[in-house]
C-alpha cells in the first residue's frame, strides 16, 4: 500500500472527533486551575481568604496568555479562573476546539509553574456565544459570581476562627446578613480591595512613545500597544458597556 493511501486511512482516526467553532459565533476561553484548593491551602499555604502573591500569579499568567499567538482582546481573572475573549475575526488554527484548549491550558500551566516553582495544571474549555450582548452578559455574570464568592470566602474565613461550620451557620442567609456578619467581626465588605470583589481585567492600550529621528534631527511621536492590568474594573451596567467597547475598537 502506498504511504499516501495508508496515511489517509489512519489520519481519519485522529480527525474523527475534531470540532470547530462556527465563524459567526463569539468565543471565550475559560481556564481553571486543577486542584488549586489543595495547592493554595496545603502545598503553598497561601494566605486566606485572598493572597497577594497568588493574585499576581493569576494576573501575570493572564497577561502571558494574551500574547501566545491568538488574537485575544480582553482577559479577565478571578480566584483560580481566567477568561479570554477572542477577536471576532480570529481564525487561528481554524478555531479548532482541541487546539485552543490544549495550547491555552499548556501555556497557562507552563507559565504559572515556572513562576511559582512548583508543578501546576490548568484545564481549558471554549464557550461559544451568539452575539455581543451575550458576551457582555457572560462577563457580567462572571463578575457577579466573583463578588458572591468573595463574600462567602470571607465568611468562611471568619467562621474558621470561631470554630463554626459555615455550611450550617450561613445556610439560607442572604447577602445583607453576611455583610452584617462580617461587619460585626470588623470587616467592612464594601471597603475590600476592588479586585477581590470584582476581579481584574487585562487588555491592550495605545500609548504615545516619544523618540528622536537622527536623520531629520526631530522629535517623533509613535503609538505603541501596551498591555495593562486593570484592578479597578467598572461594575454592573458600566461593566457591560466596558466589554462592548472592545468590539468597537476591534
Q: Which CATH number fits domain 12-198: 1.10.645.10, 3.20.20.100, 3.40.50.880, 3.30.70.3000?
A: 3.30.70.3000
The residue extents of the domains of the chain are 12-198
Residue of 175, 182, 183 whose CA lies nearest to 147: 175
Enter the C-alpha cell of residue 36: 488549586
In the prediction, which pLDDT does 218 show?
Answer: 66
pLDDT in tens, 202-218: 999 977 666 666 766 66
Spatial strand order in the sheet of 218-230: 122-129, 26-33, 81-86, 72-78, 200-213, 218-230
In the prediction, which pLDDT does 34 show?
Answer: 94
CA distances from 121 to 13, 34, 108, 163 (A): 27, 5, 8, 32
In the prediction, which pLDDT does 105 show?
Answer: 98
- List, run by run, the mean pLDDT of 10-residue segments along the chain (250 residues): 79 77 93 94 92 97 97 97 96 93 98 97 96 96 96 90 66 89 94 97 82 66 82 96 88
pTM: 0.89
pLDDT in tens, 87-129: 999 999 999 999 999 999 999 999 999 999 999 999 999 999 9
Coil vs helix vs strand at 230: strand
DSSP tag of 94: G
Amino acid at each position: 500500500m502506498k504511504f499516501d493511501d495508508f496515511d489517509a486511512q489512519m489520519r481519519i482516526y485522529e480527525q474523527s472527533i475534531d470540532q470547530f467553532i462556527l465563524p459567526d459565533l463569539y468565543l471565550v476561553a475559560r481556564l481553571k486551575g486543577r486542584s488549586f484548593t489543595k495547592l493554595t491551602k496545603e502545598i503553598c499555604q497561601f494566605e486566606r481568604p485572598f493572597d497577594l502573591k497568588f493574585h499576581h500569579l493569576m494576573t501575570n499568567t493572564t497577561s502571558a496568555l494574551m500574547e501566545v499567538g491568538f488574537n485575544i482582546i480582553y482577559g479577565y481573572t478571578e480566584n483560580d479562573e481566567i477568561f479570554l475573549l477572542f477577536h471576532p475575526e480570529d481564525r487561528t488554527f481554524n478555531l479548532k476546539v482541541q487546539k485552543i484548549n490544549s495550547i491555552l491550558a499548556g501555556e497557562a500551566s507552563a507559565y504559572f509553574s515556572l513562576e511559582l516553582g512548583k508543578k501546576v495544571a490548568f484545564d481549558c474549555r471554549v464557550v461559544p456565544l451568539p452575539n455581543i450582548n451575550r458576551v457582555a452578559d457572560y462577563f457580567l455574570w462572571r463578575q457577579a459570581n466573583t463578588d458572591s464568592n468573595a463574600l462567602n470566602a470571607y465568611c468562611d474565613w471568619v467562621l474558621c476562627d470561631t470554630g463554626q461550620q459555615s455550611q450550617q451557620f450561613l445556610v439560607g442567609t442572604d447577602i445583607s446578613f453576611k455583610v452584617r456578619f462580617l461587619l460585626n467581626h470588623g470587616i467592612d465588605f464594601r471597603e475590600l480591595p476592588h479586585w477581590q470583589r470584582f476581579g481584574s481585567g487585562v487588555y491592550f492600550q495605545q500609548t504615545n512613545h516619544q523618540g528622536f529621528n537622527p536623520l531629520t534631527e526631530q522629535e517623533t511621536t509613535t503609538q505603541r500597544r501596551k498591555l495593562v492590568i486593570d484592578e479597578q474594573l467598572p461594575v454592573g451596567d458600566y461593566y457591560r458597556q466596558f466589554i462592548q467597547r472592545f468590539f468597537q475598537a476591534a
